[in-house]
Structures are given as C-alpha cells and as structure tokens.
Amino acid sequence: MSADFKLDLTHRPRRLRRTGALRSLVEETILTPADFIAPLFVVEGDGAPEPIPSMPGVSRLSIADLVAECRTLSGLGVPAVALFPKLADSLKDERGTRALDTTGLIIRAVHAVKAAVPQISVMTDIALDPYTTHGHDGLLLPDGETVANDETVGVLTRMAVLHAQAGVDFVAPSDMMDGRVGAIRRAMDAAGCTHTAIMAYSAKFASAYYGPFRDAVGSAKAAGTHSLDKRGYQVSPANRREALIEAALDEAEGADVLMVKPAGPYLDIIREIRNATQRPVAAYQVSGEYAQLKAAAERGWLDLARTRRESLLAIKRAGADMILTYFAKEMATELAL
C-alpha cells in the first residue's frame, strides 16, 4: 500500500487512544479499592495462617490474624469483608447445629473485627454447608439427598438474627432456599435488627467453579467430593430468565443488595439484573475464577496483574456496584501505587 494513501474519514476513534493521558480522560470504567469486598476464612486457635493449596495466596486465619488482615485491608481502602468459618470435622453434624452456637467461631470473629476495626463493614454467610457433615447448604429430608426448604429457612432465620445481634452490617443468605430473604427480614426486624442489611445471593448458579472454596471451608472433605450436586436448589447455568425471577423475588422480599455468583462466566446476568433493578448489584468472583488465573500465571501462560485487572473491569463494566474477590488486597495495593 502506498505510504501516501489517505482515507477520507470524519470519525477516527483512535484519536482518543493515542496517548496514555488521552486514554485516561475517556476511560469509562474505573476500579477503586472501594469496589471490593474481601472474602476471608477464619479458623479456631492461634496458629499460623493455613495456606489453601487450591487458592495460592489465600489462607485460613486465626481470629487474631483475621483482625490484622482487616486492619490492612481497611488501610488500603477496602471497605468490607465477608467472613467464612472453617470448623473442625468433630464439630459438624447432619443438622449443622453449630450454626446456632452463640459463642461459635464466626460470632467471636465478628465481635473481634468490629471491636478492633469498627470502620470496616462485615458480612457473614447464612448457609449450613460449613457446619454439616454432608456439605449441603440446608437440612436433608429422609431420602438423604433432597434439601428441605421450609425447615432450612427456619434455621437460617435464627442464624441471621444471631449474626445481626453480633453486629454484622450484612447477612448474606447463600443457600438459595425459596422465601428465605423475606423470612430473614421479618425475623431480624422482629428482633430489633432493622439496621442490618441483607445481601442476597440472588442468582447463585450450580457452578463447577466452587471447588477451591469447598476446600477452604472443609465442605468438600465433608461431602467427599468437590462437585457435590446442588442443582436441586441452585440455578441452572443454562437459565437466564430463572435468574431474573430469583432476583426479582429477593428484591420484593426485602433484599438490600442483589448478588450474582459466579461473576465472570455470568456477565450477561449481571447486566440483566442491573437493568432490571435500582438496587445495588454485587458480583462474586469465585474461588475457581481466582484459582485459574493464579495457576495460569504460575505457569507463565498469563500476565497475572493484567488479567486480574481485566477480569475485574469486565465485572464492573457489566454493572456490578461491588465485587467480592480474593484479589481485593492485591488490587487495592496495586491501585494505591
């Protein structure tokens, strides 16, 4: 092609891509530490952090180390943490009774974090899978396979009130039982916890990306498998309209924030829910999403810094107002540079 060949173009979008300064002026989606919620795992005792092999860089923390991590995160501008307990197998049973222990691990962890780092928002998981020997999110019917919806909701409402009374800012029901958001809202209001918000796992899919998380909380070991079948209560990955129905029901029942989980494979669902509601929308970049980027980077196949940023930009661009991500600390540190 001749060097003096010229196109007669009125519009040349590349004009605004020419320099870094120009690109920053027109950047549409911007990540800040305030976008992130850091999921953290807590264990009993005062031992050293326990690395999780399937989640490089993530460890289970004692309560003392959890408090220190929350101080660090708050100092980096991360406004919230989501706490998940790892119980000893000896404390689990078929009915997850330790979920209602008023002096249990997660309650003590909440008290410690709120006392030491009062400015950070604390969210707790409302589901039974960390507490049950079978690894399901609720109570099983006599067939040993089907989760009992209404009986499970009865337990979850008591669990949510217990966490609200401990001082959490959000309870986050992740169980996907029908009607649990409304029941939790009524129970917390009746207990005087009207200030406690609900972040509902509204569109939680029966995903294959949860395996490392199940290692982290011990539910994979309890169940004997990383791929425990939860299709009887979680949304099919094939279904878009069903996810929208779930989100609409949670909003109608009083959810303050609607969540999509996982995030990356479900950007279309994030956008659909963002368009359908005025409520804040959260998205959970789950353990499998984190692990695959870490593993590829360790092998030199991907640039970790660039791919983690791109993955989070995509989630925010799709419409998420807040993102639960195991990259929260890394990203907040990078953004502070």
Q: Containing H/E element for 40?
A: strand 36-43
- Strands 50-51, 59-61: pairing is antiparallel
Burial 80-119 (b: 16+ CB within 10 A, else e): bbbbbbbbeeebbeebbebbebeebbbbbbbebbbebbee
- The one-letter amino acid code at 211 reads G
Is 92 tagged catalytic? Answer: no
The answer to whether the beta carbons of residues 316 and 241 sit under 8 Å apart is no
Is 6 tagged catalytic? Answer: no
User: Distance between CA 126 and CA 305 in Å, rounded?
Assistant: 32
Q: Containing H/E element for 213?
A: helix 211-217
* Active-site position among 86, 204, 294, 329: 204
Ramachandran angles phi, psi of 317, nearest 5°: -60, -35
3-state secondary structure of 173: strand
- Which runs of consecutive H residues, i.e. helices, occur in 299-327? 304-318
Q: Which residues contact 125 (CB under 8 A, 6 or more apart)?
A: 82, 83, 84, 172, 174
The answer to whether the beta carbons of residues 149 and 177 sit under 8 Å apart is yes
**Beta strand spans in 62-150 (E):** 80-86, 121-126
The answer to whether the beta carbons of residues 214 and 228 sit under 8 Å apart is yes
- Strands 59-61, 36-43: pairing is parallel
Q: How far is CA 159 from the centre of its chain?
A: 18
* Active-site position among 92, 261, 294, 329: 261
Active site residues: 204, 261
